[in-house]
Chain A
Amino acid sequence: MKHNRGITLVLILLAAFILAALAAPALAPFDPLRQSLLLRLKPPGSLVGTRQFLLGTDDLGRDLLSRVLYGARISLLVATTAVAVSLVVGITLGLIAGWFRGWTATLIMRLVDTMLSIPAILLAILTVAVLGPGFLNLVIVLGLTRWPRYTRVAYGQTLQIANLPYIRAAEMAGASTTRILWRHILPNIAGPMMVVATSEFGLMILFEAGLSFLGLGIQPPNPSWGAIMAAGRQYVERAWWLTVFPGACLFTLVVCVNLTGDWLRDKVDPRSR
């Protein structure tokens, strides 16, 4: 029970990130894309005329606070879309494999094993390199490379449920396969799938930032945390704020997501504690 206070704080923080992302246009003090050579690399708290730059400015004189706020938007948007795409693909294949078994399952699960035997970040790097960077390609790449974990869990869960009496009963009552999978199996595997999705969500946030850091994700001038830090790496000796602030946001967000995932897992499967 002492767990509860901790998780409340985590959920509040998480909500704060989401709110900040949604309300970025209202909260940001300046246009995140407006450059000014006169305002380059101002340290945090700098007051120039009537304008104050709480987190300082970057190498092109843009307000860092505004960029970090808009960065939260990109981070959450990419992660949400990527998780949605891979979740749909992964669950569908997992349900199919678990329901039909036989060679269908062998084929799908072999593909799962193979995909999982290529290190995820390399798979993503190669695919982005071939397709080219940018928001849409990033989502496509993450969606298409990250489904196997969902499939593996959905497959195992479906296998367990498929032989239960109520499923057999539905089958005998003449329910179609689609109906059984959608109405009877899916709701019963939703818990474990949520757990996988949460842990993938944290990973996707890291992947987006990592790929953008390498110059393969969100392209400048768009304010991705990873891209801001890549620029900051070049000015690390003169402008620590460019890497410290976006990194701290990234780290806090991922920790919150991971803690939420652990909490969800304990709720869904009390044995795993």
Chain B
Amino acid sequence: MGQLSSHLASRLGQALLASFGVLTIVFFIMRLSGDPTLLLVPEGATVEQINQLRHQLGFDRPLGLQFLSYLGDLARFDLGQSLVQRAPVLGIVAERIPYTVALAAGALVVALGIGIPAGIAMALWRGSLLERALSGFVLAGQSLPTFWSGILLILLFGVTLGWLPTSGADSLSALVMPSIALGAVTMSSFARMTRIAVLDELQSSYVTAARARGQSRLQAVRRHVLRNAAIPVVTIAALEVGNLLAGAVIVESVFAWPGIGQLAIQSIQSRDFLVVQAVVLFVSLVYVLTNLAADLAYAAIDPRIRAAR
């Protein structure tokens, strides 16, 4: 038990450090251009307006002081006011989050639903034609740019067949194509990981023992192998959630899906940088959290990991 809690504490510490690092990096990126005020003023503002805004936002203070007040604001969940929309940034982003979560969930369903069976099949029928076909499929999924596969889906199911809406979020059916486009890459990593995990387990002595007791290969797989092979797969499932949120930025732009990714791109175009900053912070922190969750889940499921550290 002591081991588990010290593992927990050290991982928690790492996650906190990573979060702090993320906040710091974002702070400095926002200042890369020299003067962040220039990012926030509307086009054609006068010098006095710029100076006034710089003072108002505190960008004329020393950098260290700016950083402290930035951290202080974040600690109070104050992400600032959008100068374009004249509303708190937090509300603007929060409004869009459910859409992105729905999209990521849809993609996860696609990825798990196809990736895991594909991975199992590739491991069980190693060297067969099926395996080769599936590994081609996996390679394709991993190299497909989402903005291209998205458009191909639109061409096929939206334009040619007319089965699904080509953009927007008016109905549940509008979620289908973006989920497939976003889920394809994740599907590939699930398939690869599952394949390796099942192959590893198939070589273990308990499978030989089960076979010696007269179980068929499929029975042994169902009863023993899948349970053990699930461990690494659960871990990447948590990791992939962060990747899905990040990948959503592009997919949402293809399908005009009103999530935080589309919001980020729209905000860049309308020079609403505090909103962009908020989206990056949000996704990165979720990413850190899912990494933490993955690690803890791994330790909780597999006692060997705890003992090893």
Q: Could you tell me which A residues sit within 8 Å of B by CB distance? A: 110-111, 113-115, 117-123, 125-127, 129-132, 202, 206, 209-210, 213-216, 226, 229, 232-233, 236-237, 240, 243-244, 247, 250-251, 254-255, 258-259
Contact = CB atoms under 8 A, between A and B. Distances in A.
A1 to B, nearest CB: 15
B186 interface: no
The 3 A-B residue pairs with the shortest CB-CB distance in the complex, in nearest-first order: A114-B21, A119-B246, A247-B148
18 contacts: A114-B21, A114-B24, A117-B21, A117-B22, A118-B284, A119-B287, A121-B249, A122-B249, A122-B279, A130-B30, A210-B145, A214-B250, A214-B265, A229-B148, A240-B159, A251-B143, A254-B143, A255-B140
Contact of A119 (B39, B158, B243, B269): B243
Contacts of A250: 145, 148
B100 to A, nearest CB: 12
B39 A130 contact: yes
A115 B148 CA distance: 27
Given A126-B26, A237-B159, 19 more contacts: A110-B21, A113-B18, A114-B17, A114-B18, A114-B22, A117-B21, A117-B284, A118-B22, A118-B280, A120-B246, A123-B25, A210-B145, A214-B253, A236-B155, A236-B158, A240-B159, A244-B155, A250-B145, A254-B145
Contact of B145 (A115, A236, A251): A251
Nearest to B166: A236
A209 B283 contact: no
A247 B148 CA distance: 6
Given A118-B280, A236-B151, A254-B143, A129 B25 contact: no
Contacts of A114: 17-18, 21-22, 24-25
Contacts, number: 135
Interface of B: 14, 17-18, 21-22, 24-26, 29-30, 32-33, 39, 139-140, 142-145, 147-148, 151-152, 154-155, 158-159, 166, 242-243, 245-247, 249-250, 253-254, 264-265, 268-269, 273, 276-277, 279-280, 283-284, 287-288, 291
Contacts of A202: 143
A206 B145 contact: yes
The A interface, classified by DSSP as helix, strand, loop or mixed, is helix
A109 B33 CA distance: 26
